[in-house]
Structure 1
Amino acid sequence: MHRIIAAVLAAGACASSAHAQTSPPTGTAPVLSLNDALARAGATPPAQEAAAAAIRAAEAQRRVANLRPNPSIVAETENVAGSGIYQGLRSSETTVGLALPLELGGKRGARVAVASAQLSRVALDAEIARADLRLRVTQAYNEASAAERRLVIARSQVGIAAEALRAAQVRVRAGRASPLEEQRADVARIAAEGAAERAARSAEVASGNLARLLSTPVIALDMNWFDRVEGGGPPRPITGGSTLAAAAARADLSTASAQIRLARSQRVPDVTVSASARRLEQTNDVAAVFGVSIPLAVFNRGRAAMAVSTAQRDQADALRRVALLNAEQAIAQAQAEAANAATTARNASGPALAAAQEAARIARIGYREGKFGQLDLLDAERTLSDTRAAAIDALAAYHDAQARLERLTTPAPTVTEDNR
């Protein structure tokens, strides 16, 4: 192996960049880009349908909160089925009227405020569902691309192993090598074929998962996207307060604050007024009856409900601060992981891969010409295979880190009255 490395250095290898690794053959199949996949996934996924239904339910709940209490029909008959002059219905008094509850203390406005806060939270949940869907699609696309690239590499390794077996057979027949070399090359070929079968199954599963997520068949992927690594540089400053997680915590705090207003309004007792007409059976006269009903806050003054709402608001405020801190920490961690993955991907796909390719090329030529032994060839091929696998893993890790960072930094929508 040292002779191969020396030959590589002497030949001035490392000619081109990593993207010179084996690429899938181009065909006429339509290429599904990541943007196309995101657009297809956002059409009618079950998660989006659930979010839309939740918004409709919250809007209906707000309309319910804005309704006034229904009036009641009051009907009663007095002085019946008694004794003396009250026998039968001769002295009965029948009263029929309406009773109307009057909400005091701003209860209806407080209910509407709670329902509006809950609607804003549900609308934010829909945005979170969309961001989560983008993350799932991007990760599935990345996994399918990496699996496809691994399959291409595995199939190329089968061809390389078959060529090495033919070279070993030629050397053995010519009497320049031991039959052990042919057996060793055949074992390497069998191992390469097994690896190709496993890679094919993995690629089929990854492609199937993406197709199920998109509800459409996946034929070809944009491998240029998989090979692309953005240029390095300092991470752009992102505040945790603009993220979806922080916005959700603020929405929960708004709902808890509205619950305090509702609990305070419920401490004010409602008044029920009634207006009725009474008919006196004995004289056949009719009279008007007016009434007012006011509950007495003797046992339940609403203080316990206020204490519960206040504690829940304090909890929501503490959770808001925790969510902001967690969001900023997660963003910083994701930015570091994305930057590290980008560096690893550039290094693994650049000089290291070019050197491994050149070393394997020289080892193949040298083995055919009898200058290098079979162990040198196998070592060079193994190094190339490991380097290619490391490059694919690094690219997959980079795109996964970028997807997670994009999910964390998805900006929260601006809530306006029109949105409400």
Structure 2
Amino acid sequence: MHRIIAAVLAAGACASSSQAQTGQTAAAMPVLTLAEAIDRSGASSPFRDVAAAGIRAAEAQRRLAGLRPNPSIVGEAENVAGTGLYRGLRSSETTLGLALPVERGGKRGARIAVADAQIGRAGLQAEIARADLRLRVTQTYTAAAAAQRRVSIAEDQVGIAAEVLRAARVRVQAGRASPLEEQRANVARIAAAGTLERARRSAAVASDNLARLLGMPVGRLNSDWFDAVHSAGPSRPMMTSTSLTVAAARADLDTATAQVRLARSQRVPDLTVSASARRLEQTNDVAAVFGISIPLNVFNNGRASIALAEAQREQSDARRRVALLDAEQDVATAQAEAENAATTARNAAGPALAAATEAARIARIGYREGKFGQLDLLDAERTLLETRTAAIDALAAHHDAQARLERLTAAAPLSKDDHR
């Protein structure tokens, strides 16, 4: 049994030594703040490239919508390849001209209105992409900072477990305690070493995730920011009518309204005006030919398209109202979660942590002096570890809720017609 424990301790020491060297390399790097991480993510993020491409596509669609229909070249040959007088090309009549479609009903203006609404929606999508990226970076940064803090706690626990093991050996050698206490302390030391190894591995993964998001290596993170807790007060109403989510739903409604106008313009038939020159083979004379054509709305008069566009507009309006309700509920939930996490963090990191720390300190001294039993010491150490872990979890939950709250209440940029 002693040989197995010694082997496990030796393996843990080797792993800890290797990971400690990695930790020292990371510690040598400058502290990365959240603001720097957000700025860095905006410089090389593919998420913003997607939004920028969407804006370019909408602008190209706007240019396309403003183009007029192309004219057509009209060519005809009559009275050819017949019989008698019309054999061959002797009596042919050749017509060559130009046909020009004339749009009616304001179709071009309606197309431009739809394209303008789509440009506004694409611009909002770019703002949404920036807000989503900020939220993603903040959440990843929070997870990495919490993981680094858990590594620090695990390192402290390894040191505490080693100290308890030394005290147990002294008590056993002095004949004041059973050898079982030394074995129990050994088990606690091995468990602490395993916890440290897992914490370091989790911290490495969290840092790598942040590094991939930023496109740069990540070292130490700002612990002061992680420890900061915003003052929690009574819940207050926040503006959601100007948030990005609601603005996007309103932009979709604007696009649907423009589609209704476009569908109505399609009911007005277009004209096609043509002007041609006709050559008569028998007399070698040339005559002008003018024509005009207009389609008959017999089978498709455009009412079905209008009904479809109006139904889609009503659907977009309903979605806008749903988005407003969802935004209000999500904001209230995120605000309550942020304040609850702040309260938990204050309690865990304040009086509760101070009391648990003092209780553990007294238990260590009392155990060395033989006034307390080992179970009392282990219980005090477990309470301290749980309190510190709860503080970290509460801080991470607080920052996550704050980030989601900022995302939900991010205001959309004002447009020229935002007076509605």
Band of TM-score, shorter chain: over 0.9
1:87 corresponding residue in structure 2 = 87
Write out aligned runs for 1:95-114 (5 A): 95-114=95-114
SS at match of 2:43: coil
Alpha-carbon distance in structure 2 between the residues aligned to 1:266 and 1:34? 53
| Aligned residue type for 1:83 | T
Alpha-carbon distance in structure 1 between the residues aligned to 2:340 and 2:159? 34
SS at match of 2:237: coil
1:225 corresponding residue in structure 2 = 225
Write out aligned runs for 1:2-401 (5 A): 28-401=28-401
Q: Deviations over 1:60-95 (max 9, x none)?
A: 001000000000000111110001111000111111
SS at match of 1:94: strand
Alpha-carbon distance in structure 2 between the residues aligned to 1:223 and 1:239? 31
| Aligned residue type for 2:40 | R
Q: CA deviation at 1:239?
A: 2.4
Q: CA deviation at 1:231?
A: 1.4
Q: CA deviation at 1:122?
A: 1.2
| Aligned residue type for 1:192 | A
Q: CA deviation at 1:151?
A: 0.5
Q: CA deviation at 1:238?
A: 1.4
C-alpha contact 1:80 1:86 (8 A) present in aligned 2: yes
Q: Deviations over 1:334-385 (max 9, x none)?
A: 1111111111111111000000000000111111111111111111111101
Q: CA deviation at 1:27?
A: 5.5
C-alpha contact 1:165 1:186 (8 A) present in aligned 2: yes
| Aligned residue type for 1:395 | L
C-alpha contact 1:240 1:325 (8 A) present in aligned 2: no
Alpha-carbon distance in structure 2 between the residues aligned to 1:27 and 1:209? 18
| Aligned residue type for 1:387 | T
2:5 corresponding residue in structure 1 = none
Which structure 1 residue ranges, 5 or more long, are not aligned?
Answer: 1-23
1:13 corresponding residue in structure 2 = none
| Aligned residue type for 2:321 | R
SS at match of 1:104: coil
SS at match of 2:410: coil
Q: CA deviation at 1:220?
A: 1.0
| Aligned residue type for 2:213 | L
Q: Deviations over 1:123-145 (max 9, x none)?
A: 11111111111111000000000
Q: CA deviation at 1:413?
A: 1.1
| Aligned residue type for 1:76 | E
CA RMSD of aligned residues (A): 1.3
Alpha-carbon distance in structure 2 between the residues aligned to 1:54 and 1:82? 59
| Aligned residue type for 2:327 | A
C-alpha contact 1:232 1:339 (8 A) present in aligned 2: yes
Q: Deviations over 1:176-220 (max 9, x none)?
A: 111000000000000000000110110000000000000100011
Q: Deviations over 1:305-351 (max 9, x none)?
A: 01000111111111111111111111111111111111111111100
Q: CA deviation at 1:236?
A: 4.5
SS at match of 2:232: coil
Alpha-carbon distance in structure 2 between the residues aligned to 1:135 and 1:330? 15
C-alpha contact 2:44 2:215 (8 A) present in aligned 1: no
State the TM-score, normalized to the length of structure 2: 0.92
Alpha-carbon distance in structure 2 between the residues aligned to 1:182 and 1:338? 44
C-alpha contact 2:27 2:219 (8 A) present in aligned 1: no
Alpha-carbon distance in structure 2 between the residues aligned to 1:149 and 1:216? 21
Q: Which has the higher contact order (CA 8 A, sep 6+)?
A: 1
The answer to which of 107-116 and 237-246 deviates more is 237-246
The answer to which of 238-247 and 137-146 deviates more is 238-247
Alpha-carbon distance in structure 2 between the residues aligned to 1:256 and 1:195? 57
SS at match of 1:196: helix
- Residue identity (%): 73
Q: CA deviation at 1:118?
A: 1.0
Alpha-carbon distance in structure 1 between the residues aligned to 2:380 and 2:113? 70
